[in-house]
Amino acid sequence: MSASASAAAGHGTLRPVRVLIVDDSAFARLVIARKLAADPEIEIAGYAADGAEAVEQIALLEPDVLTMDVEMPGTDGLTGLKRIMAECPTPVVMLSSLTSEGAGVTLQALDLGAVDFFMKPSASNPAGMAQAVAELQTKVKSAAHVSSDALRRLLTTARIKRRVTPPSRPKLGAPQSIVVIGASTGGPKALSALMADLPGDASVGYLIVQHMPPGFTGSLAQRLDGLSALSIREAVAGDSITQATAFLAPGGHHLSVGAGGIIRLNQEPPVNGVRPSVDVTMASAARLYGSAVIGVVLTGMGSDGTEGARAIKEQGGQVVVEHESSCTVYGMPKSVADAGYADRVAVLPRIAGAIMEMVSARAAVATGGGGR
């Protein structure tokens, strides 16, 4: 939230979130403005036709949040985003189309410091218009809560280098521990850092739930796979959980685990307003694997993961949550910690170590005859 917005909130006066709309189409700007302004908590601060004009308008209008089209002539979305983050850092929600190219560019935008993105409604997006509008309004208001420190972390986090050659990944058997990782706003960048830190030789299987719509999780899985010693891919119904492998829940589907570690996908109603839901996957894993489950809750708005963490704890498993100081949005981890379900609270660079310590401790207990 901007300094002025924070000051207003501090004096008990909640002023609307001021939004600068960046799009090369005048018609699109008008449509977006009407949809956002329908929420009394949002106010349109102004407009810009491209990234270059956006930089000028930010200096003049000091908006709390920008919405910016990924695809624009002239100074396109990515180029504009780079300039904005270098010259006048402001929370940005990117507007993306559902294409393979659009998904890749959107993930690049998140790497460059965008807080979140919104998939434009189209024939490929089955969500009703009212639902889509509510989602955009929520994302804009959530972005306004990203502090200047959190935004700075998004910009200063060292870029993780992709591997030059893939590591050797032998086929391994059933894992001894299951790690379920949940994330939302700020998650793609946090996942990139975490998955790059995890070793590929431990007897651990991973399930990842990132709040993301259909069409984007496949691209995210590919990007994570290129960073990690683990094999990471978008889950397909019937996949079997194995060591040194991570399965990412596909957008629009809940992921659960059946007998024998077989992955199941469904499109049952959203839980906590989202699908996939962290709660669904964690609870399912806890029922099947009991104390062998470690839950990890990273940055994100809302409380998804709290009930899942409770289920893990009830079965004797353990939970790690990201510390506020490294979160883009300290919502999901805070909810778990406040509920008393966190065994460890760690900054992002130390979460991989915390996971491995828990895995090793459980293995030592099992070797000593104390396993479940």
Residues designated as active site: 184, 211, 304
Residue 338 token pair: 């406040």
- Residue 295 neighbours by CB under 8 Å, 6+ apart: 179, 180, 182, 282, 305, 308, 309, 312, 317, 318, 319, 320
Q: What is the CA radius of gyration of the chain?
A: 21
Sign of CA dihedral 321, 157, 77, 51: positive
Residue 56 token pair: 């000028």
- How far is residue 331's CA from residue 322's CA, in Å, rounded to a whole number? 10
Instruction: Name the residue among 141, 140, 109, 119 with its Cα closest to residue 252.
Output: 119
Instruction: Name the residue among 237, 229, 339 with its Cα closest to residue 295.
Output: 339
Backbone angles phi, psi at 86, to 5 degrees: -80, -35
- Residue 163 neighbours by CB under 8 Å, 6+ apart: 226, 227
CA atoms within 13 A on the CB side of 75: 18
* CB of 64 closer than 8 Å to CB of 40: no
Residue written as token pair 């895995």: 359
- How far is residue 206's CA from residue 194's CA, in Å, rounded to a whole number? 12
